[in-house]
C-alpha cells in the first residue's frame, strides 16, 4: 500500500515519515474520553513549557528542526503556533471529531506534523515523494475553484488520484475523514534531526487516542521509513 520514491530519499536525507492504518473505527462527536484527554494534555503542555517565552519555546529541538524546514519557504510552522496558543493564550483543543482530534492531540503532544485521511477515499499505493513544483492539490478548506500549486522541494504523499498531503499545504479535499469514516490513514512527516523513534511513538500516541473513542478499532499497519 505504501512506497517511497527515490526523490524523497535524495531530497531529504535523514528525514523520516510514517503511516498508521486503523480499521473499524468511528468518527464520534465530543467524546468524553477525548475531551478529558485534551484537557489533560493542555495542562501538561502548560507545565512542560512553564517559565518559557515564545523565543525559548521555539528553540525546543523538534520545533527548531521544523522551523528550519519551513524557513526555506519563508513560512512558519503552524503546529508550533498552535502549541503557543494553548500555552500562552490558554486556548482549548477542539474535540468535535474524535478521529481528527486524535491526530491533533498527537501533534500537540509531540510537535510532529501529521495528516488524516479516510482510507476508503484513498487510491493506493500511497507514495512518499518530493514535489517538483508542477503538481497541484485541492487543499482541505481551500477554494474549490482553484487548485494550489505545490512548491518544489516539499515533502508530499500522493496516490493514483494525485497529492493527498504536503508539508507546506496540509491535506487535500478529496480524502478527508468525515462522519461516515470507518477505515483511516494517519501520516507523519519528520524532517532531518528528529529521531525516528519519536516518529513511531507519535503514531502510537495517535493510535491510543483513536482507541479512546473507538475501542473496537484495530491497527492494520504502523510503519516508519527513513531516508
Task: Tell me: pLDDT of 11 over 60.
Answer: yes
pLDDT (tens digit, 9 = 90+) per residue, 169-211? Answer: 999 999 999 999 999 999 999 999 999 999 999 999 999 999 9
Where helices occur in the chain by DSSP H, the ranges are 6-11, 32-48, 54-57, 61-71, 78-89, 98-110, 196-213
pLDDT of residue 141: 81
Task: Tell me: pLDDT of 63 over 70.
Answer: yes
* Residues, the chain: 227
Task: Tell me: pLDDT of 143 over 60.
Answer: no
Mean pLDDT of 203-220: 98
pLDDT of residue 142: 62
Task: Tell me: pLDDT of 148 over 60.
Answer: yes
Task: Tell me: pLDDT of 19 over 90.
Answer: yes
- Reported confidence tier of residue 145, pLDDT bands at 50, 70, 90: low
The span from the CA of 131 to the CA of 150, in Å, is 7
Whole-structure pTM value? 0.96
pLDDT (tens digit, 9 = 90+) per residue, 70-111? Answer: 999 999 999 999 999 999 999 999 999 999 999 999 999 999
Task: Tell me: pLDDT of 144 over 80.
Answer: no
Report the chain's mean pLDDT, rounded to a whole number.
Answer: 96
Task: Tell me: pLDDT of 118 over 60.
Answer: yes
Mean pLDDT of 14-43: 97
pLDDT of residue 146: 72
Three-class secondary structure assignment of 8-62: HHHHCCCCEEEEEEEECCCCCECCHHHHHHHHHHHHHHHHHCCCCCHHHHCCCHH
Domains annotated on the chain, with CATH: 2-29+95-226 (3.50.40.10)
Amino acid at each position: 500500500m505504501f512506497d517511497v520514491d527515490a526523490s524523497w530519499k535524495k531530497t531529504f536525507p535523514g528525514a523520516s515519515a510514517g503511516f498508521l492504518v486503523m480499521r473499524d473505527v468511528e468518527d464520534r462527536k465530543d467524546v468524553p474520553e477525548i475531551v478529558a484527554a485534551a484537557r489533560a494534555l493542555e495542562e501538561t503542555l502548560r507545565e512542560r513549557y512553564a517559565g518559557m517565552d515564545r523565543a525559548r519555546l521555539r528553540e525546543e529541538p523538534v520545533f527548531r528542526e521544523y522551523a528550519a524546514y519551513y524557513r526555506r519557504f519563508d513560512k512558519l510552522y503552524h503546529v508550533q503556533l498552535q502549541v503557543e496558543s494553548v500555552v500562552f493564550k490558554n486556548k482549548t483543543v477542539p474535540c468535535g471529531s474524535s478521529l481528527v482530534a486524535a491526530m491533533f492531540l498527537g501533534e500537540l503532544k509531540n510537535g510532529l506534523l501529521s495528516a488524516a485521511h479516510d482510507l476508503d477515499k484513498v487510491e493506493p499505493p500511497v507514495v512518499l515523494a518530493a514535489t517538483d513544483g508542477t503538481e497541484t492539490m485541492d487543499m482541505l478548506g481551500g477554494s474549490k475553484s482553484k487548485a494550489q500549486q505545490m512548491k518544489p522541494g516539499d515533502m508530499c504523499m500522493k496516490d493514483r488520484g494525485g497529492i493527498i498531503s504536503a508539508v507546506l499545504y496540509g491535506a487535500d479535499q478529496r480524502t478527508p475523514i468525515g462522519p461516515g469514516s470507518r477505515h483511516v490513514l494517519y501520516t507523519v512527516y519528520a524532517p532531518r534531526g528528529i529521531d525516528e523513534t519519536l516518529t513511531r511513538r507519535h503514531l502510537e500516541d495517535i493510535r491510543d487516542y483513536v482507541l479512546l473513542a473507538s475501542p473496537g478499532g484495530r491497527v492494520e499497519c504502523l510503519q516508519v521509513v527513513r531516508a
